[in-house]
């Protein structure tokens, strides 16, 4: 592969590196504007309550206060169903999560907002807002919320069942089913069947930068927004929709982003800041306190999952069945859909039935989190597969290989795989020195697991302008949460035959580039990279025309190879031709606006060694190797970085992270001290092994790599704990007290 590419597969310094390491990069909270004032959001102390009355008069009269708003300040429009990139939702739910009206549905739910000359005044004034609540009983888990007689969050919610609207009220927004073959027949063929129940706690993405938004409702009627988001066009469209404005009236400038992982897709603050700006006539900045980030932005759902798998003596899976109930939080839309698509995605099984339930509970409305829904599901499946391997006496990787999904395997939810790398990932695991290394010492164990996540296409736009010095400016709309500026620029550089450093990428505002969908679904290097490839080809085509003009020939006679253009013995470099654009017809701008298909999902795997302290139940990760099919690693260091990041988040999810709720629905650990994400002292070096099974549909073979890496860690760690301590942990997190208690109760 070495000579196939010049830029792709190398490791240049990232274009935003200097700004980031010197602290010059500008984040949302850095925004300063003339006349800027500061907003503070008043939040509900109750997990579930009716709002009987809100009196803002004392806050309005407080010196320094410039505006106070509640849900009553939203424009009055009839409720309707809107699709803002995350499926159909009533507009009232979208607005309701920004500022509650009628009821509060979780502790921390926004109720009102104040803008004042400084944030301390705003905060104090907010405490003067009188809200009269009628507290209601709350319900905090999916199994409880599905019971008859459970407190109901939305009186107007009716369950959608197996694709049909019903008139069933309750907390279950949807029940769906995927069927492949006849599952009961499949279980008849099995020699061994294992069925287990699992549950996972609500966890947060844990990005370090809190949500923030600055908005100016300008005198010309346009709303200008600066914020931290994974999708500037999402913010534009949601803000416009909620404020009943045409999209062109909102301009969103995405600032640098200090982490998102899916959690910076939903919009919380921007319309609120805009309404405060409209009322005060001043630009308004809101920065969420950490407690609000944990209590009121979307974590990933807690879940209850049942998985049953049957296998023959020689390790062939005959049937699999799963029931997944995911907590949506306050509004419908948990990640049970993708969870159900992923639960058996790594296996070729003839008979499958999967039931999914999307259940509202009195917790914050959930959001995407890195392969949303898949880690929960893989925790269940991969634990059962491990147990089957043990029971059947087959090596756990070998058992997976015997059943691995391949090109042509049809998933239970419908699609047939094109070329995929499941087998290749498993082979890489089997042959890795880590798997062959002996693991010695007491209380130690090794676990493995695999996982799958999709990759989405969606629209992306890229413009490339040629500079006279032989460099190009690349303009794109994908906010950069993982080094994508560089991986996109590298794909343009490869086409142009330029070094990566000669492509200068910028992420720009929504006025300055064509529509570009959210940075999510591991799509950015795939789709915006593809657009960069196409835009670069457009540049090459135009440069050929310019060379042809100079050499008095036609463009089709001009050849291009690695940045050198030639025809009939004449040749010129890209830089030489760029210097002559003035005399050959003026500026050259290449462009591409695409909506690509041909996405290729990514498989991942983990081998980990742990040690469990038999006296305290504490698990130490001794060694951890992450495997992933990248299709083609454009910038291997960033692929490795994604694998390491996903692994670390998966380790946190497995061992200590959870929303620890009181019975009345108050998160007890809403600080980074008590919401225990792993620190550097809790982790070994995460080793990585990139597998490359190129995606045939993509010009460079890219598969999305951002997410699949978080899928296997919890299951792999559970399987390792079993071998170290003899207990099967079926509940996340597997924190020291939980492991200790399991050891005590070991039969």
Partner 1 sequence: MKWFDYSAPSSLSEALKLLRENSQALLLAGGTDLLVQMRAGRKQTDLVIDIKNIAELNQLVLDASGLRLGAAVPCYRIYNHRDIARGYPALSDVASLIGGTQIQGRASIGGNLCNAAPSADAVPLLIALGAICRIAGPSGERTVPVEEFCTAPGKTVLKQGELLVSLHLPPPKPHSGAAYLRFIPRNEMDIAVAGAGVSVELNNGNFQSVRIALGAVAPTPLYAKQAGDSLAGKPVNDACIQTAAELAKAAASPITDMRGTAEYRRHLCAVLTARALKQAIQRAQEAK
In whole angstroms, the minimum distance from the beta carbon of 31 to partner 1 comes to: 22
In whole angstroms, the minimum distance from the beta carbon of 729 to partner 1 comes to: 15
Cβ closest to partner 1, residue 85 vs residue 684? 684
CB count within 10 Å of CB 383 equals 26
Please tell me the distance from the alpha carbon of residue 516 to that of residue 527, in angstroms, as a whole number. 10
Cβ closest to partner 1, residue 418 vs residue 731? 731
Please tell me the distance from the alpha carbon of residue 545 to that of residue 191, in angstroms, as a whole number. 69
Q: Which of 624, 104, 142 is nearest to 373 (CA)?
A: 142
Backbone conformation region of residue 483, classed left if phi is above 0, alpha if psi is from -120 to 50, else beta: left
Cβ closest to partner 1, residue 123 vs residue 350? 123
Cβ closest to partner 1, residue 1 vs residue 663? 663
Count, in order, helices (H) and strands (E) of the chain: 21, 31
Please tell me the distance from the alpha carbon of residue 302 to that of residue 449, in angstroms, as a whole number. 21
Q: Which residues of 4-13 are buried (b: 16+ CB within 10 A; e: fewer)?
A: eebbbbbebe
Cβ closest to partner 1, residue 345 vs residue 648? 648
Cβ closest to partner 1, residue 390 vs residue 682? 682
Give CA separation, 719 vs 27, 158, 202, 281, 525, in Å.
41, 40, 21, 58, 33
Q: Estimate to the nearest angstrom the gap between the alpha carbon of 456 and the chain centroid.
A: 12
In whole angstroms, the minimum distance from the beta carbon of 669 to partner 1 comes to: 5
In whole angstroms, the minimum distance from the beta carbon of 667 to partner 1 comes to: 9
Please tell me the distance from the alpha carbon of residue 356 to that of residue 162, in angstroms, as a whole number. 10
Q: Which residues of 526-535 are buried (b: 16+ CB within 10 A; e: fewer)?
A: bbbbbbbbbb
Strands, sheet with 589-594, edge to edge from the N-terminal-most edge strand:
503-507, 472-476, 460-466, 589-594
In whole angstroms, the minimum distance from the beta carbon of 281 to partner 1 comes to: 26
Dihedral angle over CA of 579, 585, 589, 592, nearest 10: -130
Please tell me the distance from the alpha carbon of residue 57 to that of residue 59, in angstroms, as a whole number. 5
Residues with Cβ within 8 Å of residue 707, at least 6 apart in sequence: 370, 371, 374, 453, 521, 522, 602, 646
Dihedral angle over CA of 134, 135, 139, 145, nearest 10: -20
In whole angstroms, the minimum distance from the beta carbon of 42 to partner 1 comes to: 13
Tell me 1's DSSP state. Answer: -
Contact criterion met (CB below 8 Å) for 349 and 318: yes
Residues making contact with partner 1 (CB under 8 A): 120, 123-124, 615-618, 655-656, 660, 668-669, 673-674, 676, 678-679, 681-682, 735-737, 740-741
Cβ closest to partner 1, residue 478 vs residue 619? 619
In whole angstroms, the minimum distance from the beta carbon of 658 to partner 1 comes to: 9
Cβ closest to partner 1, residue 218 vs residue 620? 620
Backbone conformation region of residue 108, classed left if phi is above 0, alpha if psi is from -120 to 50, else beta: left
In whole angstroms, the minimum distance from the beta carbon of 688 to partner 1 comes to: 23
Structure tokens at 638: 């960033």
In whole angstroms, the minimum distance from the beta carbon of 620 to partner 1 comes to: 9
In whole angstroms, the minimum distance from the beta carbon of 120 to partner 1 comes to: 6
In whole angstroms, the minimum distance from the beta carbon of 476 to partner 1 comes to: 37
Helix ranges (H only) for 208-255 are 232-242
Q: Which of 644, 627, 720 is nearest to 683 (CA)?
A: 644
Cβ closest to partner 1, residue 599 vs residue 727? 727
In whole angstroms, the minimum distance from the beta carbon of 679 to partner 1 comes to: 6
Cβ closest to partner 1, residue 108 vs residue 254? 108
In whole angstroms, the minimum distance from the beta carbon of 462 to partner 1 comes to: 42
Cβ closest to partner 1, residue 499 vs residue 736? 736
In whole angstroms, the minimum distance from the beta carbon of 699 to partner 1 comes to: 44
Q: Give me the residue label for tokens 């300008």.
A: 218
Tell me 524's DSSP state. Answer: I
Q: Which of 631, 641, 654, 645 is nearest to 715 (CA)?
A: 654
Contact criterion met (CB below 8 Å) for 558 and 566: yes
Cβ closest to partner 1, residue 522 vs residue 608? 608
Cβ closest to partner 1, residue 346 vs residue 667? 667
Please tell me the distance from the alpha carbon of residue 710 to that of residue 689, in angstroms, as a whole number. 15
Cβ closest to partner 1, residue 540 vs residue 686? 686
In whole angstroms, the minimum distance from the beta carbon of 436 to partner 1 comes to: 29
Cβ closest to partner 1, residue 684 vs residue 726? 684
């Amino acid at each position: 592969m070495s000579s196939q590419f010049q830029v792709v597969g190398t490791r240049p310094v990232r274009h935003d590196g200097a700004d980031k390491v010197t602290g010059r990069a500008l984040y949302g909270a850095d925004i300063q504007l003339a006349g800027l004032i500061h907003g503070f959001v008043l939040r509900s102390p109750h997990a579930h309550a009716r709002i009987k009355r809100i009196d803002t008069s004392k806050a309005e009269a407080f010196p320094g206060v410039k505006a106070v708003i509640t849900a009553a300040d939203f424009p009055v429009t009839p409720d309707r169903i809107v699709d803002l990139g995350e499926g159909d939702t009533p507009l009232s739910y979208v607005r309701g999560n920004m500022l509650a009206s009628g009821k509060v549905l979780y502790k921390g739910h926004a109720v009102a907002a104040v803008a004042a000359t400084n944030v301390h005044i705003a905060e104090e004034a907010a405490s003067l807002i009188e809200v009269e609540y009628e507290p209601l009983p709350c319900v905090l888990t999916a199994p409880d919320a599905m019971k008859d007689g459970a407190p109901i969050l939305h009186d107007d919610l009716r369950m959608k069942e197996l694709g049909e609207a019903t008139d069933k009220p309750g907390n279950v927004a949807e029940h769906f089913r995927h069927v492949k073959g006849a599952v009961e027949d499949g279980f008849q063929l099995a020699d061994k069947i294992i069925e287990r129940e699992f549950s996972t706690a609500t966890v947060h993405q844990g990005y370090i930068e809190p949500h923030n938004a600055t908005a100016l409702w300008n005198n010309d009627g346009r709303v200008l927004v600066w914020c931290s988001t994974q999708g500037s066009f999402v913010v534009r469209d949601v803000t416009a929709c909620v404020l009943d404005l045409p999209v062109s009236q909102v301009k969103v400038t995405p600032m640098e982003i200090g982490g998102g992982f899916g959690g910076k897709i939903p919009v919380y603050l921007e319309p609120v800041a805009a309404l405060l700006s409209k009322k005060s006539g001043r630009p308004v900045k809101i920065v969420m306190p950490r407690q609000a980030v944990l209590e009121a932005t979307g974590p990933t759902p807690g879940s209850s999952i049942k998985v049953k798998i049957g296998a023959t003596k020689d390790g062939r899976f005959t049937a699999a069945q799963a029931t997944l109930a995911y907590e949506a939080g306050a509004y419908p839309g948990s990640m049970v859909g993708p969870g159900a698509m992923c639960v058996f995605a790594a296996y070729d099984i003839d008979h499958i039935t999967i039931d999914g339930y999307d259940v509202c509970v009195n917790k914050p409305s959930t959001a995407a989190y890195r392969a949303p829904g898949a880690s929960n599901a893989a925790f269940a499946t991969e634990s059962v597969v491990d147990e089957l391997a043990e029971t059947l006496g087959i090596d756990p990787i070998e058992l997976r290989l015997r059943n691995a999904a391949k090109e042509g395997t049809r998933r239970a939810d419908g699609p047939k795989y094109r070329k995929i790398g499941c087998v290749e990932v498993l082979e890489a695991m089997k042959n890795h020195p880590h798997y062959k290394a002996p693991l010695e010492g007491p209380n130690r164990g090794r676990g493995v697991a695999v996982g799958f996540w999709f990759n989405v296409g969606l629209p992306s736009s890229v413009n490339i302008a040629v500079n006279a010095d032989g460099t190009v400016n690349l303009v794109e709309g994908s906010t950069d949460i993982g080094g994508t500026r560089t991986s996109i620029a590298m794909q343009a550089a490869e086409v142009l035959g330029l070094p990566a450093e000669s492509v200068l990428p910028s992420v720009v505002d929504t006025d300055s580039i064509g529509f570009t969908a959210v940075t999510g679904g591991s799509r950015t290097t795939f789709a915006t990279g593809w657009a960069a490839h196409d835009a670069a080809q457009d540049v090459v085509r135009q440069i050929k025309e310019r060379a042809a003009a100079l050499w008095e020939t036609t463009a089709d006679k001009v050849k291009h190879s690695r940045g050198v253009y030639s025809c009939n013995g004449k040749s010129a470099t890209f830089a030489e031709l760029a210097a002559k654009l003035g005399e050959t017809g003026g500026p050259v701008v290449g462009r591409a606006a695409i909506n690509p298909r041909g996405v290729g999902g990514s498989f991942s795997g983990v081998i980990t060694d742990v040690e469990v302290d038999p006296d305290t139940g504490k698990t130490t990760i001794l060694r951890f190797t992450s495997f992933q099919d990248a299709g083609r690693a454009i910038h291997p260091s960033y692929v490795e970085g994604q694998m390491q990041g996903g692994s670390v988040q998966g380790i946190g999810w497995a061992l200590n992270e959870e929303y620890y709720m009181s019975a009345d629905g108050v998160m007890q650990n809403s600080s980074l001290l008590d919401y225990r994400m792993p620190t550097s002292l809790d982790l070994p070096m995460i080793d990585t092994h990139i597998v490359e099974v190129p995606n045939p549909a993509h010009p460079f073979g890219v598969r999305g790599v951002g997410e699949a890496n978080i899928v296997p860690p919890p299951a792999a760690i559970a399987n390792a704990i079993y071998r170290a301590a003899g207990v099967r942990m079926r509940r996340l997190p597997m924190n020291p007290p939980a492991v200790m208690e399991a050891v005590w109760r070991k039969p």
